């Protein structure tokens, strides 16, 4: 089973090569909802500073809280997204956000091949 940790989103500037690997993986097979959300954040450079190319983790967290969680709330409540639900809604949201962070960081922290 994959190890999911609770650290912040990576601040690394993302590269086209990392994006293409992410895109290739998303086309290769079906994934859980958190993977698609991480891909969307990665693809659209949410939180990226245009001057430094670094990512602000707080901007991504705010995006998750203000945009994604409200849109996914019904799926989280019924357990469709994380396998929990109902009385566990706070755990579902926490777990979902951890999964999004983990998937995002998996690609943002990859080294480019030279």
Q: Using 50, 70 and 90 to split pLDDT, how confident is the model at 41? A: very high
> Per-residue pLDDT averaged across 95-99, rounded?
90
CA distances to 1, 43, 87 from 28, rounded to whole Å, are 20, 17, 35
| 5: pLDDT strictly greater than 60 | no
Q: Where are the domains of the chain?
A: 16-108
Angle at 107 between CA 104 and CA 112, to 5 degrees: 155
| Tens-place pLDDT, residues 17-32 | 999 999 999 999 889 8
CA distances to 16, 20, 40, 94, 112 from 61, rounded to whole Å, are 23, 24, 14, 11, 26
Distance between CA atoms of 93 and 76, rounded to whole angstroms?
7
Angle at 60 between CA 39 and CA 12, to 5 degrees: 75
């Amino acid at each position: 089973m994959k190890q999911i940790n609770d650290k912040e989103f990576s601040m690394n500037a993302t590269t086209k090569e990392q994006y293409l690997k992410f895109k290739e993986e998303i086309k290769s097979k079906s994934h859980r909802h958190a993977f698609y959300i991480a891909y969307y954040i990665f693809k659209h450079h949410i939180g990226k500073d245009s001057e430094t190319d670094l990512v602000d983790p707080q901007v991504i967290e705010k995006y998750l809280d203000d945009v994604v969680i409200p849109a996914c709330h019904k799926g989280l409540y019924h357990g469709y997204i994380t396998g929990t639900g109902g009385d566990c809604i706070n755990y579902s949201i926490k777990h979902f956000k951890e999964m999004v962070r983990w998937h995002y960081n998996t690609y943002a922290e990859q080294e480019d091949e030279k």
